[in-house]
């Protein structure tokens, strides 16, 4: 089955970038992904005639065409699920305290950021019921943790306007205070690419996928609390929220290294992480599809890398016997940390900053997801590399093939 040439109008690119900027600007934290979930609910409601949303008891979401599982059974095809997580490292308020003429907040930090980045940093704290936010400044950090009694780093932050305290309560979330998200010189600078840029890419791709009834076996899976140990993914795997036999394309935003995984060179078919290599057959198939698409569409770029830093949900799902691989966007200012290596080496002062990705990488990821959805079961890819091996065998087996029947018995 030959691949179709892929062209995207300027208006569609603008629409997809608008979705990207809006999604990655949403406040979110592990266990407090409400605003992102609400945005997905609105997205689904606008497409209710062809798309349906379901959730499990942990708050994970699936988005699929109507009759998703029935379509898989009828066509005898294994489900394909494009996954992304809904959280990003951020703060959750645990207490609000009046201290003389000021108001201080106790917050726990859910995610991984090095200690120097907290010193004196400005935060914006969000009202639980509205879109309002209030400025606060970190005045102290307690970096000690204990899995049993204190699993997260904690900070004390002082509200710039004490009167804002009436709008904040335990459970409110806070994040680093940044300027508004922008696209500048081809780079998207925004609050939380990891993993909300993947959420946006999944929705953008599925908007097209869900218009094709022949792709009713393809769905989205959005998980919660990845940043504190894959909690949503593990729950979905343990509880059977992932259908039996499903193949998972897990999306991530992973730290870029200019010499190895540069920003702007395309989304990365990620072979593995520091914990594991991903399901080889599925990873190879996605990589082969990407390579074939690049051959037919020279403007399309992708990378294929083993990225040993960090770990992603593909490893978590694979640990429960679910076929999984990962495609990631190369990311700058990972977890909002500028110049990580220099800061850890003591040669630069720690500063938090907006995460950034390439706009082209994002659009190519959307394109790749659409192509993978259509071609994952094409015969030329389903055969894997067996055909190549057979070709090599037919050409050269006579060099080592025995002239007489082999003897039997032990060595």
Reduced to 3 states (helix: H, G, I; strand: E, B; else coil), residue 101 is coil
Alpha-carbon distance of 146 to 140, in angstroms, equals 18
217: Cβ–Cβ under 8 A, 6 or more apart, which residues?
Answer: 68, 71, 72, 75, 77, 78, 79, 80
Q: What percent of the chain has pLDDT over 90?
A: 86
Give the model's pLDDT for residue 411.
Answer: 60
Give the model's pLDDT for residue 386.
Answer: 82
* R_g of the chain, CA atoms, integer Å: 23
Alpha-carbon distance of 24 to 244, in angstroms, equals 31
φ and ψ at residue 17, rounded to 5 degrees: -70, -35
Give the model's pLDDT for residue 390.
Answer: 87
> 């609050």: which residue's tokens?
191
| Nearest C-alpha neighbor of 139 from the set 96, 105, 89 | 105
CATH of 90-176, one of 1.10.3860, 2.60.40, 2.40.30, 1.25.40: 2.40.30
Read off the pTM. Answer: 0.94
Give the model's pLDDT for residue 381.
Answer: 85
**Domain ranges, ordered by start, for the chain:** 10-88+181-386, 90-176
Reduced to 3 states (helix: H, G, I; strand: E, B; else coil), residue 361 is helix
Q: Are 78 and 374 in contact (CB under 8 A)?
A: no
For the chain, residues with pLDDT lower than 70 are: 1-6, 130, 403-411
Q: Which two tokens stand for residue 39?
A: 């945005």
Reduced to 3 states (helix: H, G, I; strand: E, B; else coil), residue 171 is coil
Give the model's pLDDT for residue 4.
Answer: 57
Q: Are 356 and 189 in contact (CB under 8 A)?
A: yes
Give the model's pLDDT for residue 325.
Answer: 98
DSSP 31: T
Q: Which two tokens stand for residue 106?
A: 């106790």
Q: Are 176 and 121 in contact (CB under 8 A)?
A: yes
Given CATH 3.40.630.10, say whether it is the number of domain 10-88+181-386.
yes
Alpha-carbon distance of 290 to 301, in angstroms, equals 9
Q: Are 158 and 103 in contact (CB under 8 A)?
A: yes
Q: Which two tokens stand for residue 149?
A: 């009694």
| Nearest C-alpha neighbor of 336 from the set 30, 114, 34 | 114
Q: Which two tokens stand for residue 69?
A: 């599982």
């Amino acid at each position: 089955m030959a691949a179709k040439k892929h062209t995207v109008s300027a208006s569609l690119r603008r629409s997809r970038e608008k979705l990207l900027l809006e999604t990655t600007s949403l406040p979110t934290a592990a266990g407090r992904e409400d605003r992102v979930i609400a945005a997905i609910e609105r997205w689904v409601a606008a497409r209710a005639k062809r798309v349906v949303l379901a959730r499990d008891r942990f708050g994970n979401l699936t988005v699929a065409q109507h009759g998703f599982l029935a379509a898989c059974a009828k066509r005898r095809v294994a489900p394909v699920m494009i996954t992304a997580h809904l959280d990003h490292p951020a703060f959750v308020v645990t207490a609000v305290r009046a201290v003389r003429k000021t108001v201080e907040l106790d917050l726990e930090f859910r995610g991984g950021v090095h200690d120097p980045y907290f010193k004196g940093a400005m935060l914006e704290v969000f009202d639980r019921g509205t879109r309002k936010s209030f400025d606060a400044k970190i005045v102290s950090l307690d970096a000690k943790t204990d899995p049993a009694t204190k699993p997260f780093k904690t900070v004390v932050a002082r509200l710039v306007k004490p009167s804002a305290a009436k709008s904040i309560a335990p459970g409110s979330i806070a994040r680093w205070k940044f300027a508004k998200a922008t696209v500048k010189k081809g780079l998207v600078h925004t609050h939380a690419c990891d993993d909300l840029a993947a959420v946006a890419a999944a929705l953008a791709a599925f908007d097209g996928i869900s218009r094709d009834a022949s792709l009713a076996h393809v769905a989205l899976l959005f998980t919660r609390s990845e940043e504190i140990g894959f909690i949503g993914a593990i729950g979905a795997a343990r509880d059977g929220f992932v259908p039996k036999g499903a193949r998972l394309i897990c999306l991530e935003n992973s730290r870029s290294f200019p010499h190895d995984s540069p920003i702007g060179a395309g989304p990365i078919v990620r072979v593995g992480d520091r914990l594991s290599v991903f399901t080889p057959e599925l990873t190879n198939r996605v990589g082969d599809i990407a390579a074939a698409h690049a051959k037919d569409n020279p403007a399309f770029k992708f990378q294929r890398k083993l990225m040993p830093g960090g770990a992603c949900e593909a490893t978590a799902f694979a640990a429960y016997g679910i076929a999984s691989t990962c495609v990631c966007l190369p990311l700058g200012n990972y977890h909002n940390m500028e110049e990580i290596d220099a800061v850890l080496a003591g040669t630069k002062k720690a500063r938090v900053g907006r995460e950034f990705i390439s706009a082209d990488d994002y659009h190519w990821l959307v394109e790749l997801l659409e192509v993978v959805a259509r071609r994952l079961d094409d015969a030329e890819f389903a055969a894997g590399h067996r055909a190549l091996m057979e070709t090599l065998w037919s050409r050269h087996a006579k060099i080592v093939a025995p002239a007489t029947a082999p003897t039997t018995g032990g060595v």
